[in-house]
Amino acid sequence: MKLLCAVLLISFGAFAQEESPATAPPPGREQARSMIVTQYGIVAASQFLASQAGAKMLEAGGNAIDAAIAANAVLGLTQPYVNGMGGDLFAIVYEAKTGKVYGLNSSGWTPKALTLDYLKAKKIDKIDARGVHTITVPGCVAGWDALRRRFGTKTFAELLAPAVFYAEHGFPLPEMAARGWITQALLKQPGYRETYMPGGVRPRLGDTFKNPALGESLRQVAAKGRDGYYKGKLAESLVKFLQGQGGAHTLEDFAEFEPEWVEPISTTYRGWQVYELPPNGQGVAALSMLNIMENFPLKDYGHNSAAALHVMIEAKKLAYADMERYVGDPRFGPVPVAEMLSKDLGKRRAALIDMDKASCKVLPSELSANLDAHGRETIYMSAIDKEGNIVSLIQSNYAGYGTGMVAPGAGFSFHNRGAGFDLEPGKPNSLAGRKRPLHTIIPAFMRKDDLAIGFGIMGGWNQSQAHAQFVANVVDFGMNVQMALEAARFTKGTFGGCDVQMETRVAEAVRQELARRGHVIAPLGGFSGAMGNGEAVMRDAKRGVNFAGSDPRTDGAAIPEQPAVPALNAQR
């Protein structure tokens, strides 16, 4: 008996040492959510009803472009504080069959009459950040139209149907939306209270919100395309309202606006090609950051180590200094993008980083006051279809609800993107008629060999620095797209100084070491909205598999397409 027991113990010990993967304890988990993995399409958006609407468009035979438009339209209803028909839009489209990458800039221009002389004649030396002069012609609907005409397969009536349905039938407010639904400072803005506080009561978590006026505006576009917004009845109503607020807008400013197809700019980062859109956006700063970061062994330093974070924070300051100095609307003056993206410049800027001391004077101090973030209210979303086509799309009101001004019967607020203009003449971003301001919102894309990733992270001046952190998470630290979005981040909304905000999931010892080097750390919550929120989709072309991640810092979700499943024969 003793011998049998001994044999059994030895046998058990051997089994324990050679246990199969099925019985082995699960590996440690470093992320809160799992990636979505499928052979079919996925839509990753910052609100789950929008993701679902996009996925349904894929199931109805649409492609990634169709899905992106449908999802974005729903986001304008469910997250009106960050985007909508009154804002601007940028997108990067990856066409799988050709491998080509396309860029769309649908940021609106100022009224033709709105010039520095115009403001001077009215004795205006400072633009009210929520005033009518910050309202450029919204580019969102024109962006939808440009995407649909070039790449889409569905009609506007099909694409906008989900948004119209929810606008007219209502939807219950989810957690994050309910927290930020009303901006108290906007309650006196014309049309705001009536639109977003129906009956004078603030909607709360679980309350059903309807916006039939927005449904009617969407119906105009569904019936007449872009002309349903930029010409005719709706345009006349919008322009009349803006003029009534003292604006210089005309019907011609709306009717003549066109988005621009642009060539994306890019750089390499340790073998990956990373793409952004060219100026008038800030994407060049993300690529400049990567060129600087490439000169340091971040992988050896370790993820979110003091050394790695120090390099990235200092790279941010250097890249943003160049961006502020040179970037404006390229239609009004040359922007030296090639020089800004040169590897030689990256090396020279990297050499300025003192690994033991933070630099607090990269920019003249007076510039910080001008460019400190007026707004960070934006959505980012991405979509991928079963063929591997990818849309990386960002859309924004700038500040929360933008101006908060809502024209009678429109159902959406106008953005305040023009608050970013410089009122000092002779600068790249100086105000002028029919000019586009320096933009914060940027979509992104990266690829290497058989892998292609559409990604973005919203949040004002946070975006370029967040993009660079995401890329480093994937490339330097081997994270999947979900983990790369979830990982603790830093952000610096100002241009000068040593202040930086950081999530408390970064180890306290690391934060203390950064403080020793001169960084002034403002600790924020573990998943802080100040870091922005993002989405990402990835194509593995070799295996024909799609992946997606969604940032837990918002109400978002990545939702896969459900394939058409044939019914089973009940008889056996």
CATH of the domain at 48: 3.60.20.40
In Å, what is the CA distance from 125 to each residue of 133, 434, 472? 12, 19, 42
Does 350 map to a domain? no
Please give the pLDDT value at position 25. Answer: 65
Annotation says 110 is catalytic:
no
Mean local confidence (pLDDT), 488-514: 94
CA–CA separation, 287 and 299 (whole Å): 19
- pLDDT tens by residue, 416-440: 999 889 898 988 889 999 999 888 8
Does 279 map to a domain? no
pLDDT at 487 over 50: yes
CA–CA separation, 165 and 456 (whole Å): 28
pLDDT at 371 over 50: no
Query: Number of folded domains in the chain?
Result: 1
Does 374 map to a domain? yes
With 0.85 as the threshold, say if the pTM is over it: yes
User: What is the side-by-side strand order in the sheet with 36-38?
Assistant: 36-38, 545-550, 534-540, 451-457, 444-448, 272-276, 265-269
Mean local confidence (pLDDT), 208-235: 97
Of 415, 439, 63, which Cα lies nearest the Cα of 260?
A: 439
pLDDT at 556 over 60: yes
Please give the pLDDT value at position 86. Answer: 96
Please give the pLDDT value at position 570. Answer: 73
Length reported for the chain: 572
pLDDT at 14 over 80: no
Does 338 map to a domain? no
pLDDT at 16 over 50: no
Using a pLDDT cut of 70, give the percent of the chain over it. Answer: 92
Mean local confidence (pLDDT), 80-91: 94
Mean local confidence (pLDDT), 83-109: 96
Does 112 map to a domain? yes
pLDDT at 5 over 80: no
Does 317 map to a domain? no
Does 523 map to a domain? yes
Expressed as residue numbers, the domain containing 475 is: 44-264+367-426+461-560
Does 156 map to a domain? yes
Instruction: Exactly one of 134, 378, 403, 440 is catalytic; name it.
Output: 378
- Identify whether the C-beta of residue 40 lies closer than 8 Å to the C-beta of residue 57: no
Mean local confidence (pLDDT), 108-114: 96
Q: What is the mean pLDDT of the chain?
A: 90
